[in-house]
Amino acid sequence: AASKAGGDVTIEYGKKLNEQLLSRLQLETDLRHAIERGELELYYQPQQSMNDEGLIGFEALIRWRRNGELVSPASFIPLAEETGLIVTIGDWVLEQSCLQLQKWMTDAKCRITVAVNISPLQFADPFFVNKVERIITASGVNPACIELEITEGVMVNDIGATTKMLKALQNIGVRLAIDDFGTGYSSLSYLTQLPVEKLKIDQSFVRDITVASPQQTVVQATIGLAHNLGMIVIAEGVETEVQQRLLKSWGCDEIQGYYYSRPLQASAASVFLYSRKITTIVDTA
């Protein structure tokens, strides 16, 4: 009887595994067709200057409208990375971001930035720099208004190669930011060598700054370090006025988070843009 029960459990387990495999396979198949079916969509989250509380620009954040349901990137970016689909998706994200920015600049006659997330796999592509240049040139936007966000993960391997790549990107004229700073394993000595303009403090640190906590110390120290290296600092995941005020008192330059605005669909982002004071940080024509 015992072995029979055990056998049933195994069958049940096997079924579950099968279902999981099938749904993963289905997800992968669906994702392959998501672009051509027009199911991918960019949301835009506003970024605010601490100086004069003006709008600096937006971060483009991808969403997948799958069977009418909005899927968050956490549920499909990992799969897109495993399958290599992220390269095609990443091209689409950059193209869309440039087109949207071009539209905003034409309509609003203002200079804002759009930040685009770059996956380590895109960054590893030897033709990445060429591709970025081609996409930006084709769109007609000022490259200085495009900011590429890379995570610490892309640079741990080979600091020399990473630096070379980042310099090549800067030569095109795009701006560079380190995303989710503090969550990776890069050493501080790397940071001093990297040619990047901006550091994004991860939201996991921002969450607990309103009480005496190690996070307070980390955030303050990070702001000081970044400024000493000539970098701009933006805090992610700012949800409350208390957090905003603290960050401002510590000299943080910019914020992004629900306190200022949630990520918005393009049409809502346009309304946001047209109704706000703009803080221009890019002054090339």
Which residues lie near Mg ion (CB under 5 A)? 117, 149, 179-180, 236
CA distance 263 to 256: 10
CA distance 177 to 195: 9
Residue with smaller CB distance to Mg ion, 117 or 162: 117
Mode of pairing for the β-strands spanning 55-66 and 69-71 = antiparallel
Residue 281 half-sphere exposure toward CB, CA atoms < 13 A = 25
CA distance 226 to 197: 9
Q: Could you tell me the smallest distance in angstroms from the CB atom of residue 236 to ligand C2E?
A: 6
Residue 192 half-sphere exposure toward CB, CA atoms < 13 A = 5
Q: What x/- string results for residues 89 through 108 when contact with ligand C2E is judged by CB under 6 A?
A: -x--x---------------
Contact call for residues 69 and 60 (beta carbons, < 8 A): no
Q: By CB under 6 A, tell whether 57 contacts ligand C2E.
A: no
Residue with smaller CB distance to ligand C2E, 93 or 282: 93
Q: What contacts 255, CB < 8 A, 6 or more positions away?
A: 47, 48, 50, 234, 235, 238, 244, 247
Q: Could you tell me the smallest distance in angstroms from the CB atom of residue 14 to ligand C2E?
A: 33
Q: Could you tell me the smallest distance in angstroms from the CB atom of residue 94 to Mg ion?
A: 13
Q: By CB under 6 A, tell whether 268 contacts ligand C2E.
A: no
Contact call for residues 184 and 151 (beta carbons, < 8 A): yes
Residue with smaller CB distance to ligand C2E, 1 or 262: 262
Residue with smaller CB distance to Mg ion, 152 or 236: 236
List the interface residues with ligand C2E, window 196-235 (CB under 6 A).
203
List the interface residues with ligand C2E, window 155-184 (CB under 6 A).
179-180
- Return residues touching ligand C2E (CB under 6 A): 45, 61-62, 72-74, 77, 86, 90, 93, 117, 119, 179-180, 203, 236-239, 257-258, 263
